């Protein structure tokens, strides 16, 4: 059996070496390292893939979030609602811009921001909601857009983990995650579903005026060279990374399918385990996404009940199975983001999830033998 890895970038690279090398070689030959034709080519191809009017590439997913918020003109003191159970980047940029983060609880079943909790958190100062499509599953965007409309709020989708996922509206219409809100951010960190070989990110929007504003912000606030109309930043996707991404983009659907297939095999192996709760998709796909692509399994995350999760993690590690705990501490309990306005009763789900969750290896190269080994070890630990 091949050594099990949390993410197998080498195995994936070996299969696309020729395309990636050729694409990088083009950049080297043209020496157009910054904002070269590769960046524009990738931007165009990603716009077509997503069905979104504007993709604005930038340096990483954290910058993408910050720039999206700057582009919307959010002001110091504006309240921004986001999920308590996510990676810190989301709340970090809110705080950096002197906006007020308002963390709210999530759903126990799909780990995404709770609609009820959003409603409860809205005040006259609320200006935006940032749903994070956690672990590859799109948050309930239809409900979120309804709330936003009612209260005149912006919606910024943090799509770092769900690129390629579909969201299905009640009327059957589908849209790609990251194309539904006013603006979205994504990350091309190597381990993301569409990862480059360094740092990278992008902002998506269907709003022409906002896209124009953002294109200036990523480039020092310049719309005309050496004319600085707004305060900007320097945040670019470099051409080498664009070359990698443009070579990988045609494989994104295949990669997401491979993740879904691995998730389906995991789900099947655990279906009779009373102490394991497997991740879910939509009711229509039963969490296996054969039909709807609602979940692209950036992570495959279990909840374990009546089991010492940390002991399970050590046992798996001892057996050569890497695993992860995303995330071990709710954001509202992180020192940097403590706020006396929070009540523990408002974070019942997150406070429980941080104790129960464990993410198993998930990537495009997992084989049956590895999945069988991983699931048998998990079951052996749980059932003694």
Ligand X SMILES: *Cc1c(COP(=O)(O)O)cnc(C)c1O
Q: How far is the CB of 132 from ligand X (least distance, A)?
A: 5
Is 228 in a helix, a strand, or coil? strand
Distance of CA 65 to the CA centre of its chain: 11
Q: How far is the CB of 201 from ligand X (least distance, A)?
A: 5
**In a 10 Å sphere around its CB, with 0-12 CB exposed, 13-18 middle and 19+ buried, how is residue 171 labelled?**
exposed
Q: How far is the CB of 377 from ligand X (least distance, A)?
A: 27
Q: What are phi and psi of 63, to 5 degrees?
A: -60, -40
Would you say the C-alpha torsion 203, 207, 209, 212 has a positive or negative sign? positive
Residue whose entry in the numeric block shows the structure tokens 């569409």: 194
The closest alpha carbon to 281, from 293, 269, 266, belongs to: 293
> Can the peptide bond before residue 327 be classed as cis, meaning omega within 30 degrees of 0?
yes
Rounded CA-CA distance 380/21 in Å is 43
Would you say 20 or 134 has its CB closer to ligand X? 134
Do 178 and 186 form a contact (C-beta atoms < 8 A)? yes
Q: Which residue is nearest to ligand X (CB)?
A: 61
Cα distances (angstroms) measured from residue 97 to each of 69, 91, 223, 282: 8, 10, 22, 35
Would you say 199 or 346 has its CB closer to ligand X? 199
Q: How far is the CB of 205 from ligand X (least distance, A)?
A: 17
Q: How far is the CB of 61 from ligand X (least distance, A)?
A: 3
Would you say 60 or 350 has its CB closer to ligand X? 60
Would you say 243 or 378 has its CB closer to ligand X? 243
Would you say 60 or 219 has its CB closer to ligand X? 60
Q: Which residues bind ligand X (CB under 6 A)?
A: 60-62, 86-87, 89-90, 132, 158, 160-161, 187, 189, 199, 201
Q: How far is the CB of 325 from ligand X (least distance, A)?
A: 15
Would you say 130 or 276 has its CB closer to ligand X? 130
């Amino acid at each position: 059996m091949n050594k099990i890895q949390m993410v197998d970038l080498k195995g994936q690279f070996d299969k696309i070496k020729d395309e990636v090398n050729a694409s990088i070689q083009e950049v080297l030959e043209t020496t157009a390292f910054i904002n070269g034709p590769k960046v524009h080519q990738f931007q165009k191809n990603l716009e077509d893939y997503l069905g979104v009017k504007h993709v604005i590439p930038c340096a990483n997913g954290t910058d993408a979030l910050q720039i999206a918020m700057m582009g919307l003109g959010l002001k110091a003191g504006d309240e921004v609602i986001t999920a308590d159970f996510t990676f810190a980047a989301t709340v970090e940029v809110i705080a950096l811009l002197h906006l007020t983060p308002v963390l709210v609880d999530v759903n126990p079943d799909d780990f995404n921001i709770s609609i009820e909790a959003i409603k409860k958190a809205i005040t006259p100062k609320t200006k935006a909601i940032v749903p994070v499509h956690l672990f590859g599953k799109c948050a309930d965007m239809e409900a979120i857009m309804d709330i936003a409309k009612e209260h005149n709020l912006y919606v910024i989708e943090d799509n770092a983990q769900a690129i390629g996922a579909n969201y299905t509206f009640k009327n059957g219409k589908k849209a790609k995650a990251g194309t539904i809100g006013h603006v979205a951010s994504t990350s091309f960190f190597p381990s993301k579903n569409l990862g480059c070989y360094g740092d990278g990110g992008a902002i998506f929007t269907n709003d022409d005026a906002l896209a124009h504003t953002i294109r200036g912000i990523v480039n020092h606030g310049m719309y005309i060279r050496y004319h600085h109309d707004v305060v900007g930043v320097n945040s670019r996707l470099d051409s080498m990374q664009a070359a990698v991404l443009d070579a990988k983009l045609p494989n994104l659907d295949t990669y997401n399918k491979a993740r879904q297939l691995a998730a389906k095999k995991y789900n099947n192996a655990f279906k009779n385990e009373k102490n394991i709760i497997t991740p879910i998709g939509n009711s229509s796909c039963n969490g296996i996404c054969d039909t709807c692509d609602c979940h692209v399994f950036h992570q495959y995350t279990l909840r374990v009940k009546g089991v010492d999760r940390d002991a399970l993690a050590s046992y798996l590690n001892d057996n050569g199975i890497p695993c992860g705990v995303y995330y071990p501490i709710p954001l509202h309990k992180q020192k940097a983001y403590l706020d006396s306005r929070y009540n523990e009763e408002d974070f019942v789900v997150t406070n429980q999830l941080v104790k129960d969750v464990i993410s198993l290896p998930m990537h495009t190269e997992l084989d049956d033998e590895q999945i069988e080994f991983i699931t048998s070890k998990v079951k052996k630990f749980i059932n003694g």
